[in-house]
Structure 1
Amino acid sequence: MKNNPELDIEKPSEDADVLLQFLDRASQVFVKKLENNDRDWSYDQTKHQNGVYIPHAQRDSGFFPTLTLKEREDGKTNEIWEAYFLTYWPQFEKGYRKSRLVNYRSKSEETHLTRIPKSAFSELLPASFLLIGCIQLADETVFECLTLDSASEETALLSDIFNLDPDFKVGIFRPEEKKSEETARIMDFAEEVISAWEDGAIARFAAENSVMPTSYEIAFRARQVFMKRHGLVNISPFSMDSPGDALREISRKIEWGIFREFQRRERSVELIRIVMGDEPIKIRTSDIIRKLIDELPAIDALMLSASQQRKSRAGYSYEHHIEAMLGDGKVPFEKQVILASKKRPDFILPSLEFIDSKKEGSETGLILSAKTTLRERWKQVEREMEGRRLFLTTVDENIASNTIEDMASFGVHLVIPESLRKSKETEYEGHENVLSFREFCDETLTPNLKTWIKTGSSH
């Protein structure tokens, strides 16, 4: 990553309408979470890869034009298979360009999409996305292309629409099929809502069936699902090979699914009550249309609150899971202790009194801060240190290398899921201040646990 992403925090993100309109136009959409090599060619001249790697399963799926053997007169024997087609990059340039899908057989099945704009990739954070939509214009097929920065609202929307797993790498989707799947998921519930409204019981139905549980309750449910799925009695980090990956699965996959179902129900009922009211009445289509227009500000507020609800939930839930993991592992800690600076670090291990006591072993104490996503927020935890050791744990994929180096300069250690340590989509590898949650447990918690327990600290 050649630039500092923190300089762009005021830059407005791409309008979600651009993504939604793109998905409406495309009959099929190729989606790839970009690896580092898919981005760094655009700004690092020392890199050998040119363009974006296209796995051969998607290359040969029928989505892309079929490769043909290039005729060569240079006497070289290595075969080159290629296909040229029109691409359109509306975020970065006007007009079409002729892009190339090329496979040098000397490199086996390795295939790259080349002759594409560098500007589409040069500013992206790790784990960003490339979307290619197959769009029919008159008698010609055009491939419209978008890139979505991993820190943008559009990436969250994309993941929501296609229900992308945190471990998603690449796939081809039909937007219409995804819409049908979403409709099918809510139809049974819709019938219940209609019945309740017709019976004049929509308010009671809402209270009993569509009230969003607290973040603590949803987090608890997610851990129960995880433990049952993996045959565990608790989530002690010492009883799992990959406790960081467990945190990622619980918070980013299981809990998100639970939350999404509750939010779908809650928003559906609220929308009905805004438009139709609580009492059953005979209503014409024209009246519904007028009501929709008249209540547009309330509907907008409902959609906005849904977005804000998603953001606030994520932060609190991750803290809940860290607290449960420390508790199950019998690790002594204090939570949300007020420091002299008026800051409230998430966790102090084993206690603030122990760290500040200047007694033998007190230097082993630490501050553990939990952030689902970082962006520029890591500087907030830096102000919590006050000379103490600070470890920052996250499940975020999109931290740029220069940001990790900035953290190191302040003495901040980054604790991440095991699967992200050497992932091709992240920039964590090669940084001494980055360690997996397993390494954090083995190298930091375990050697000091007996000392901490002897202090009598508890939570």
Structure 2
Amino acid sequence: MEIIAPKVIEDTANSERIFCKFLSANDTGETGGHQSGIYIPKNSVPLIFDTPGVKGENKEEFNKIKWQDDFETDAHFKYYGQGTRNEYRITGFGRNFPFLKPAFTGSLVIILKQKDSSYKGYVLETEDEIEYFLDYFGITPNETNRLIDTELANPEEKEKLAIQEFIKSLTSDFPSSEQMSLEAQRIQNLVFDHNEYIQQKPDDKLLDWTEVEYRLFRAIEHDRYGSLIKNGFSDVEKFIELANQVLNRRKSRAGKSLEHHLSSLFKGNSITFTPQAITEGNKKPDFIFPSIEAYHDTSFSVVKLASLAAKTTCKDRWRQVLNEADRLRSQNKFLCTLQQGISSAQLEEMKSEKVVLVVPERYIKTYPEKYQQDIWTVKKFIEYVKEIEK
């Protein structure tokens, strides 16, 4: 049987209304009654009508529903308001509709009103698929038979699903470091929907993207190597070969990850820059602002230039940034790092060499208190570059 719960979750992202309920014996005809179709409670009227029905009058609209992302049926949205009846139902599926039969009593039916006003429907039969759907939205079986608040979606489950879908889509053993970073950004933005943080809270955004990329990378590692490691190795050499391959890839990804995320933050803040520009000789700072052309233009004011190095850790490597741009030797040299804490002696030496640390705001408290005021946040650096680029 095809696993469809992930497809259901994927479609909820494009849905204006999400309704779910367990099919009752009355819905499936198991009680022997003559009711037809799926009962819709009054709390879920917006799924099928823009306005509620009026007592004493029947109401009906015609639509189509695509089921299991496979086949389509007619659907009559009905309000029975005459006589003693006062209820809403979806009927008109046709005789060959497979799901309104006694065998499907207790299955979870999900009906989605898409943002383009079309409809999709799914029926989940197994406990695993039903739990997958309920866990995603963080609801219990008792909280069904109603419209679902999409804000309830469990972020961890959303992220896990997005990672699984990306891994399934891969056509190579491992994506490039840039593709990995961009996908982590896409997933994090999708799950938390805080694109405005790129400008409002870039420090948080940088760390959020970095954390998701780490989880994404580890998930791909597990998918690629999990069964191989579990089954063991025929000899030590093969084990060492794989271990070296994994470690080298980890080092390569970590070294580029920070650069990729900073690039996206700069683009999101409309900052002009040249990455990996060549200044003098083979010197190559990670970022030159506003451009390498401006840097090589001797008539361009040096106070309107800036360089930024990106190093995940910098405790022992910060001196590398001192000679990356000759024109900026007398200016501040900026170094963005995810390092948490550096000794006072090193910070004093950095200060004397005009190296300014740029650190995500929540990490600044890990540095000696005496030097915290000298450390720039990512947001402060972005505002500084925007100012000199005016």
Q: What amino acid is aligned across from residue 295 of structure 1 in structure 2? A: D
Deviations 1:115-142 (A, max 9, x none): xxxxxxxxxxxxxxxxxxxxxxxxxxxx
CA shift in 2, pair 1:429/1:267, >3 Å? farther
Q: In structure 2, how many angstroms separate the alpha carbons of the residues matched to 1:429 and 1:217? A: 40
TM-superposed deviation, 1:272: 7.1
Deviations 1:235-286 (A, max 9, x none): 64xx22x3123212211x111000000011112255479x6xxxxxxxxxxx
TM-superposed deviation, 1:317: 1.2
Q: In structure 2, how many angstroms separate the alpha carbons of the residues matched to 1:361 and 1:246? A: 32
Q: Which residue of 1 aligns with 2:180?
A: 218
Q: Which residue of 2 aligns with 1:250?
A: 209
Kindly report which structure 2 residues correspond to 1:57-456, keeping only aligned pairs within 5 A, or say none.
211-233=173-195, 236=198, 239-240=199-200, 242-251=201-210, 253-271=211-229, 292=233, 294-359=234-299, 361-388=301-328, 389=331, 390-421=333-364, 423=365, 425-427=366-368, 430-431=371-372, 433-442=374-383, 444-450=384-390
Structure with the bigger RCO (C-alpha within 8 Å, sep 6+) is: 1
8 Å CA contact 2:304–2:389 kept in 1: the answer is no
8 Å CA contact 2:315–2:339 kept in 1: the answer is no
TM-superposed deviation, 1:433: 4.0
Percent identity (aligned) = 26
8 Å CA contact 1:345–1:384 kept in 2: the answer is yes
Q: What amino acid is aligned across from residue 246 of structure 1 in structure 2? A: K
Q: What amino acid is aligned across from residue 378 of structure 1 in structure 2? A: W
Q: In structure 2, how many angstroms separate the alpha carbons of the residues matched to 1:220 and 1:232? A: 16
Secondary structure, counterpart of 2:317 in structure 1: helix
Q: In structure 2, how many angstroms separate the alpha carbons of the residues matched to 1:391 and 1:261? A: 33
Aligned length: 221
TM-score, normalising length from structure 1?
A: 0.44
Secondary structure, counterpart of 1:249 in structure 2: helix
Q: Which residue of 1 aligns with 2:44?
A: none
Q: In structure 1, how many angstroms separate the alpha carbons of the residues matched to 2:369 and 2:237? A: 44
8 Å CA contact 2:181–2:261 kept in 1: the answer is yes
Deviates more, 1:358-367 or 1:385-394: 358-367
CA shift in 2, pair 1:446/1:340, >3 Å? closer
TM-superposed deviation, 1:209: 8.0
Secondary structure, counterpart of 1:376 in structure 2: coil
TM-superposed deviation, 1:362: 3.6
Q: What amino acid is aligned across from residue 217 of structure 2 in structure 1? A: F
Q: In structure 1, how many angstroms separate the alpha carbons of the residues matched to 2:338 and 2:359? A: 6
Q: In structure 1, how many angstroms separate the alpha carbons of the residues matched to 2:296 and 2:168? A: 50
Deviations 1:74-95 (A, max 9, x none): xxxxxxxxxxxxxxxxxxxxxx
TM-superposed deviation, 1:350: 0.4
TM-superposed deviation, 1:355: 3.3
Secondary structure, counterpart of 2:283 in structure 1: coil
Q: In structure 2, how many angstroms separate the alpha carbons of the residues matched to 1:345 and 1:428? A: 29
CA shift in 2, pair 1:358/1:262, >3 Å? same
Q: Which residue of 2 aligns with 1:37?
A: none
TM-superposed deviation, 1:232: 3.5
Q: In structure 2, how many angstroms separate the alpha carbons of the residues matched to 1:226 and 1:320? A: 15
Q: What amino acid is aligned across from residue 178 of structure 2 in structure 1? A: Y
8 Å CA contact 1:210–1:269 kept in 2: the answer is no
8 Å CA contact 2:314–2:337 kept in 1: the answer is yes
TM-superposed deviation, 1:417: 0.5
Q: In structure 1, how many angstroms separate the alpha carbons of the residues matched to 2:288 and 2:322? A: 14
Q: In structure 1, how many angstroms separate the alpha carbons of the residues matched to 2:172 and 2:297? A: 49
TM-score, normalising length from structure 2?
A: 0.51
**Unaligned segments of structure 2, at least 5 residues:** 1-166
Secondary structure, counterpart of 2:271 in structure 1: coil
8 Å CA contact 1:206–1:269 kept in 2: the answer is no
Q: Which residue of 1 aligns with 2:104?
A: none
Secondary structure, counterpart of 1:396 in structure 2: coil
Q: What amino acid is aligned across from residue 267 of structure 2 in structure 1? A: G
Q: In structure 2, how many angstroms separate the alpha carbons of the residues matched to 1:234 and 1:372? A: 25
CA shift in 2, pair 1:267/1:206, >3 Å? farther
CA shift in 2, pair 1:323/1:234, >3 Å? farther
8 Å CA contact 1:227–1:234 kept in 2: the answer is no
TM-superposed deviation, 1:364: 2.0
Q: CA RMSD in A?
A: 2.8
